[in-house]
Amino acid sequence: MNQTNTKQGDSYHRPVMVEEVLSYFQETAGLLVDATYGGGGHASALLQSNPELRVLGIDRDLDAMSRVPVGHGDPRLHLVTANFGDLEKILAREAPNGDLAGALFDLGVSSHQLDVAGRGFSFHSPGPLDMRMGPDATQSADDIVNRWSPGDIATILRDYGEERFAGRIAEAIVKARPIGDTVELASVIANAVPAPARRRKHPARRSFQAIRIAVNGELAALRRGLDAALDALRPGGRAVVISYHSLEDRIVKRRFASGATECTCPPDMPVCGCGTVAELRLLTRGGQRPSPAEIENNPRARSAVLRAVEKVTI
């Protein structure tokens, strides 16, 4: 959901890879779920380009949903404040007849969330240790930073941030308690990292990502939401996912690949005995990246990877 915040009165964000998203849904008719509605940029573009679409927009962020953008007056748009990890329940309530024509996931934290210091997502500006994307989150960054054991902190830094200095950082965090805000946390992390490792990207970047993912249960929600969307898609329905770091992309890539797998019997077996039939057809191989022009215009799009599939079986 990498977005560019603008001054009040302008669009809430600049959605990433809009033309690519539109290309996958240009012939889609029926209900499309925008599982990460955010500022509504993708949804508005989809509704404007395709009169045959209806959009169910979902977002857990109350702030995002309170800033309903251009397009809200379209009767084909229906908004729900919820976590897309609960997509199965949402669809049972909002679309009980099933027959989902499309699903779009634009993952991660938005630029608006990063730019509002009070949300606690950024290590550049002082803010509370919060990082909750919505009121459904059962813990905050403060709970993790000031209450968890060093072993538990190191585990999430390693698993969710792929941080090679996880142990050192976790010990430094516990030693520095109580930590009051995001800038103080970033400083503690930076000082725990060896000097040579501080010369490239900000040394707190991976740790902040890890804590945010843990606070919001992002990876588990992605697995549940993606499964629910693919299960609900009708034959010919399409799913598009835009991810921004390797952990998200790995989940999407593996789920799409498993759905596109056919017979898994040994090559020397004359007749298929497993009965495996592919449910998905890959529309992208290796993932699509934003164009150089888009990255130049919106640098925060540079890490985006788009993957798309089409449902081929019931």
Neighbours of 45 (CB within 10 A): 17
Token pair, residue 159, equals 């698993």
Tell me which residue has tokens 């804590």.
211
Q: What is the mean pLDDT of residues 171-186?
A: 97
Name the residue ranges covered by the structural domains of the chain.
18-112+218-311, 138-212
Residue 47 has pLDDT above 50, yes or no: yes
pLDDT of residue 199: 73
In terms of phi and psi (left: phi > 0; alpha: psi -120 to 50; beta: otherwise), the region of 162 is left
Lowest mean pLDDT among 175-189, 191-205, 281-295: 191-205
Residue 266 has pLDDT above 80, yes or no: no
Euclidean distance between CA atoms 62 and 51, whole angstroms: 28
Query: According to the per-residue pLDDT averaged within each range, which of 213-222, 271-280, 292-301 is highest?
Result: 213-222
Taking the alpha carbons at both ends of the chain, their separation in whole angstroms is: 29
Token pair, residue 54, equals 């209806």
pLDDT of residue 117: 63
Residue 217's pLDDT band (cuts 50, 70, 90): very high
Residue-by-residue DSSP string for the chain? -------BTB-S---SSHHHHHHHHTT--EEEEETT-TTSHHHHHHHHH-TTEEEEEEES-HHHHHT--TTTT-TTEEEEES-GGGHHHHHHHH-TT--EEEEEEE-S--HHHHH-GGG---SSS---S---SSTT-S--HHHHHHHS-HHHHHHHHHHHH--TTHHHHHHHHHHHPSP-SHHHHHHHHHHHS-GGGGSSS-TTHHHHHHHHHHHHTHHHHHHHHHHHHHHHEEEEEEEEEEESSHHHHHHHHHHHHHHT----S-TT-SS--S-----EEES-SS-B---HHHHHH-GGGTT-EEEEEEE---
Q: 27: burial class by Cβ within 10 Å (0-12, 13-18, 19+)? A: exposed
- Bridge partners (DSSP) of residue 33 are 56, 103
Could you give phi then psi for residue 52, rounded to 5 degrees? -90, 0
Q: CB under 8 Å to 168, separation ≥6 — which residues?
A: 192, 193
Neighbours of 30 (CB within 10 A): 15
Exposure string for 113-126, b = 16+ CB within 10 A, e = fewer: bbbbbebbbbbebe
Q: What is the mean pLDDT of residues 293-308?
A: 94
Residue 314's pLDDT band (cuts 50, 70, 90): low
Euclidean distance between CA atoms 168 and 173, whole angstroms: 9
pLDDT of residue 80: 93
Question: For the chain, what is the mean pLDDT?
Answer: 89
Fold identical between 18-112+218-311 and 138-212?
A: no
CA torsion, ordered 90, 92, 97, 99, to nearest 10 deg: 50
Pick the residue with more confidence: 114 or 8?
114
For 67-119, the pLDDT digits (tens) are: 665 445 789 999 999 999 999 999 999 887 778 999 999 998 766 666 676 78
pLDDT of residue 3: 44
Residue 5 has pLDDT above 50, yes or no: no
pLDDT of residue 1: 58
Euclidean distance between CA atoms 105 and 1, whole angstroms: 8
pLDDT of residue 115: 62
For 132-148, the pLDDT digits (tens) are: 998 889 999 999 999 99
**Reading across the β-sheet that carries 233-243, which strands appear in turn?**
77-81, 53-59, 30-34, 100-106, 233-243, 305-311, 280-282
pLDDT of residue 135: 86
pLDDT of residue 69: 52
This prediction has a pTM of 0.90
pLDDT of residue 114: 64
CATH architecture entry for 18-112+218-311? 3-Layer(aba) Sandwich (3.40)
CATH architecture entry for 138-212? Orthogonal Bundle (1.10)
Lowest mean pLDDT among 4-8, 118-122, 206-210, 243-247: 4-8
For 234-265, the pLDDT digits (tens) are: 999 999 999 999 999 999 999 999 999 976 67
pLDDT of residue 14: 74
Lowest mean pLDDT among 16-20, 111-115, 164-168, 187-191: 111-115
